[in-house]
Amino acid sequence: MSTILTENGVRKMDEGDPLATYRDQFYLPKDVVYLDGNSLGAAPKAAFDELETAAKTEWADQLIRSWRGADWWVLGEKLGNQLAELIGAGPDQVTVCDTTSINIYKALHAALSLRPDRSVILTEAEGFPTDSYIAEGVQSVRDRTELRLEDLDEDTIEDYLDETVAVVLINHIDYRSASVRNMKAITEKIHAAGAIAVWDLCHSAGIYPVDLEAANADFAAGCTYKYLNGGPGSPAFIYAAKRHHGSFSQPLSGWWGHVEPFAFEPNYTGDTGIRRLLCGTQPILSMRALKASLDMYDTVDMAAVRKKSQSLTSLFIDLVDQECDGLGVTVISPRDADARGSQVSLAHGNGAAIVHALTERGVIGGFREPNVMRFGFAPLYLTHHDVWLSVAHLKEVLETEAWREDRFNAAGKIS
């Protein structure tokens, strides 16, 4: 950074923003700068209309007829096809269902079923914990299955791949640092070793132009309540490459995944398509809230989202460098915008208290142990001026050491 950034100069960065009109499509509390969309996205206004229609008309008036009349029965696949456009998947390869953890459980079992002569699940030692927890659960119910936790990246992954590895589970964007992995290069290395690639897209979907088909990924899963703004607990999604349809098995063999669910046969025969990854009845109301956001995304240019994301996060880093130098914070996210997702993480020994102090001032971020302050930047509803305001508050909290107040240090955990 060679020039001094000013508030007026930052305001000019918002002029001509092609995404500016989307901000008004969200409920945003007054005097709040919301930098936690990487944990829970803001509420689209249209979600409440969707919920009202689903509850008052389709449920209350139409009752069970809405399973067919309102397309509830195929809603997961319809949403999956909308979402597929955002993650580079072809039609009928994505469905919305269940939770990320459940979908990873299914994907790992599916991958193992495709490599019956291999026994090892390889995943990250420092990835988001649900991935390794679920992998442990898969290991616990399978004979002769081994779990290996390693430091996986493009430069290291080949060190851990051998003829025993059946499946590799890896995050596309790291939840702590926001480092972006080269999906295509890593998948090629996994395939060269004869293994199956399962990608966790929780911090990618809706914010980064993922291309699963170009990367030749096998399976992927992710949540919809972060950058996709589906609402708290909104259902997750799962992807299975078309080449694997009809070939894999997964243990949650509920009736929704049956090839003829209304035949009510005594034995299970899995569907030959993406529905094989379904289990039971899905949360229709939550899905309808998600539909509002995906309908919005149908009109969004993901290249513009990525460009603005890089601009917002780069500005945040530049302002932290300019305004907070010598105040004890360290940028731990990549400084190269191409290597960074839509989050900037700062390290500070009292990070939790600082985030609490910022929240009281209306700047809402997040914290992850042991010392990581996470600030997520959602281009559909944030401005460059929001970034200026957030760093101004951060500087004041650090300079005054307001975070030392007892109430900030006694506050509970932050999601």
| Residues taking part in catalysis | 128, 200, 225-226, 374
Of residues 95, 132, 107, 100, the one with CA closest to residue 222: 100
Distance, in Å, from the CA atom of 32 to the CA atom of 127, rounded to the nearest integer, reads: 30
- Three-state DSSP at 116 gives coil
Read off the DSSP letter of residue 340.
B
Instruction: Report the C-alpha dihedral over residues 167, 173, 179, 181, rounded to 10 degrees.
Output: 40
Distance, in Å, from the CA atom of 359 to the CA atom of 317, rounded to the nearest integer, reads: 19
Residue 370, preceding peptide bond in cis (omega within 30° of 0): yes
Of residues 95, 118, 90, 92, the one with CA closest to residue 107: 95
Of residues 34, 126, 123, the one with CA closest to residue 332: 126
Distance, in Å, from the CA atom of 242 to the CA atom of 214, rounded to the nearest integer, reads: 13
* Contact in structure between 214 and 88 (CB atoms under 8 Å): yes
337 membership: H or E segment, kind and range: none
- Of the chain, the end-to-end C-alpha distance in Å amounts to 32
* Contact in structure between 178 and 341 (CB atoms under 8 Å): yes
Residue with tokens 């026994």: 119
Q: Over 129-164, what HEC string results? A: HHHHHHHHHHHHCCCCCEEEEECCCCCCHHHHCCCC
Distance, in Å, from the CA atom of 242 to the CA atom of 337, rounded to the nearest integer, reads: 33
Read off the DSSP letter of residue 64.
G
Distance, in Å, from the CA atom of 265 to the CA atom of 189, rounded to the nearest integer, reads: 42
Distance, in Å, from the CA atom of 355 to the CA atom of 42, rounded to the nearest integer, reads: 19
C-alpha to C-alpha distances, 8 to 11, 13, 302, 384, nearest whole angstrom = 5, 9, 28, 11
Strand partners, 375: 344
Neighbours of 142 (CB within 10 A): 15
